[in-house]
Structure 1
């Protein structure tokens, strides 16, 4: 048997006690004998909350998603709820997606809550993440849980926690909950369910959610919705339970489902990755779109919070637009509708994030709408709504193919965003235009902005160390220029500081600390480096711009290529 570090061995031995079931113990013994590297990766750390909750590979150990790690989380959360809401009748809502073990793990979570005398509303079958966010507020719950790993590979699952406002946990709640969890041992978890406290929910929430989605998007009585040809794929995920139904309710009659991807399946058998950010994921949908002459193609990720969109370009071909472009056209359309309805008076806002396109800020300034910017993740946009009760929230988004319409859902919502994209496409079709034409018009009005995301996958303990080294190098040996453009400002969100390299001025950033580093050049180029909070990746966000408008897009694309070469990504 290979030598095991004493600290690791102590963790492993805890899992070989009667607190854990026999199958778990047998699996650990197999790893000790035959898979020492897997053993180390399963135990070298405990799973942590990131930008999108807690995600990890399913299996045994502290660094894996299983009934014990989630049971411990839930026990800690139960105790925290009792501390924060003493004497109240506590209520939680739970949803889950199509992933392997999601239904079983959701049941475990429900049982632990009920064992702690907390009323549980558990969806009877898989549902989209945005519907869980909606249900928390609809049912007046103290918190909500969704079992999902979003668009991660099939071996992953996850645990997202939502607070009373329907948004994901933010400081200080996340840190306080983690402190409570860390005081617990696995034997402290109460798995003894009280079945009378677990209530199944489904249609009563579905109906209200669908009507709310339509109410937030249907601005006009245009008659051409039934003429729009839509191709939709859920990529084997949960959106099949809501998106087609919402589109039909809104009046879209020509919605063509990619049948081979319509059945929920945690193996995601027809795609390498169920991520609409990846062009390959929408290949089958694009093929069907060309076959039937679709006006728009939409695909969502497994838990239905992200969406990818393809529209007809200037040559009449279906072309994917990226998350920043989708955000810009949908946000502008929303603001335009509010303006035409006389609802803009300077007391409205759009929310976005520090790694998203600067173009949105320029549009907001022109439309007399406040622009608020936060850290990566929709939990920060949800927090903006709570922090600014004097302002009306129109919508918000970020580069990661997510968008949120109004405040009835407090997370990125691919159900309502899919409807909004179709609504915009239908309105433009009546003018013999497409969303692509609309985007080019915005570039000509506000200047062209082009963005690109590159990710480097670094798995396991070794990968985490490599990511740390990359970030350390960027901080300790900062870049002085990017493709010949002088760097004029550096923002380091890890210590909350900025440096103006032209004046030497240094100051503090008005956002919580986060492991993000951003470079700005004198020509308006922006490069951000950020380790992912939910995947074993380091991400590089590139943004370039030109005042020449849409005619300069080809040159901007070349600049992005040059930046990738310089950064070796």
Structure 2
């Protein structure tokens, strides 16, 4: 047994109880023998839920993104929704990005909401964050969740929360939700899904979202101007590839050159050091393509497509 502080060891031993699944316990026991420093990092604190949500490295432990930390947050959020919307049929929308485990974690979050009697609209495949924001209002939801860690490294994932207006949490909701989450014990998490309350959505929302984007963002641009604009686009291995090319096409932009090496969603982001379009290095391949095709503008987005460079 590793030489760990008693309080830390108590936190770790709690996760070796029947509340936590066999795979989680097995990983923790292995770390106890092989990497106590990593285990200390995983348990020395609780991963914080802040304004907008939470993000962190994936793995077992209270300071990691996993089914239990996300389950606890979702249980607390479920309790809060029931508290402030009494006697209402509560609805949430859930989307996820290209990161490792995003799809399975999104399904888990949907299951916890449904176990709490909450209707869930779960996107059938990865979608950009702006579409989730749109879906919250379009589907008349009380809140929305995106499983993403934005432009963080591949080992990260996270949980962004959006409110009824489609925007991220703001005071006082953030502090009130944190307070509610802090009252939840891991034994209180409801994992027993009510599948009748989970509805998959996809193209039905896509079409409305694209049309709304085109109608609200056209600015009366002439077709001649659109025809003369030479666009280079890179998704940086993220979710915008699912929406942006079709949106540009529907808006009348014909000259769109996609960086094919970065078009396929990939949670390892293999062609960049960081999938942050605000960093010049991330747009290197797009700029090279722009030189080849005499591009007028380069557009790049981060993995969940809420950041543009």
Q: How far apart in 2 are the matches of 1:77 and 1:2?
A: 36
Cα distance in 2 for residues equivalent to 1:6 and 1:221 = 66
Q: Is the 8 A contact 2:50 2:174 kept in 1?
A: no
1:179-258 → structure 2 map (5 Å cutoff):
179-222=179-222, 223-258=224-259
Question: What TM-score comes out, normalization by structure 1 length?
Answer: 0.53
Q: Which moved more, 1:272-281 or 1:148-157?
A: 272-281
Q: Secondary structure at the match of 1:307?
A: coil
Aligned residues: 308
1:133 has 2:128 as partner? no
- Find the counterpart in structure 2 of residue 306 from structure 1: 307
Once residues 94 and 70 of structure 1 are traced to their aligned partners in structure 2, the CA distance between those partners, rounded to angstroms, is 13
Q: Tell whether the 8 Å contact from 1:227 to 1:253 is kept in structure 2 after alignment.
A: no
- Length-normalised TM-score, structure 2: 0.98
Task: Kindly indicate whether structure 1 or structure 2 has the higher relative contact order, using CA contacts under 8 Å at least 6 residues apart.
Answer: 2
Gaps of 5+ in 1: 309-569
1:224 CA drift (Å): 2.3
Determine which structure has the larger strand proportion and give its number: 1
> Quick check: 2:52–2:169 contact (8 Å CA) kept in 1?
no
Tell me the equivalent position of 2:266: 265
The equivalent of 1:161 in structure 2 is: 161
Q: What is the Cα deviation at residue 128 of structure 1? A: 0.4
Cα distance, 1:50 vs structure 2: 3.3
Q: Distance in 2 between matches of 1:133 and 1:285?
A: 27
Could you tell me how far apart the structure 2 residues matched to 1:152 and 1:303 are? 11
Alignment of 1:467-478 (within 5 A): none
Q: Give the Cα separation in 2 of the matches to 1:175 and 1:45.
A: 19
Q: 1:172 and 1:32 mapped to 2: Cα distance? A: 40
Structure 1 pair 214–15 and aligned structure 2 pair: CA distance change class (3 A): same
Q: Distance in 2 between matches of 1:52 and 1:181?
A: 14
1:461-496 deviations in Å (ceiling 9; x for gaps): xxxxxxxxxxxxxxxxxxxxxxxxxxxxxxxxxxxx
Task: Indicate conservation of the 8 Å contact 2:50/2:178, yes or no.
Answer: no
Once the 2 structures are TM-superposed, how far is the Cα of residue 227 of structure 1 from its aligned partner? 2.1
Matched, 1:68 2:72: no
Q: Show the counterpart of 2:23.
A: 23
Aligned partners of 1:59, 1:276: CA distance in 2, in Å? 27
Structure with greater Cα Rg: 1
Quote the RMSD (CA, aligned, Å): 1.0
Measured in 2, the distance between the counterparts of 1:221 and 1:105 equals 41
Whole-angstrom distance in 2 between the partners of 1:265 and 1:77: 30
Q: 2:244, 2:280 → 1: CA distance?
A: 21
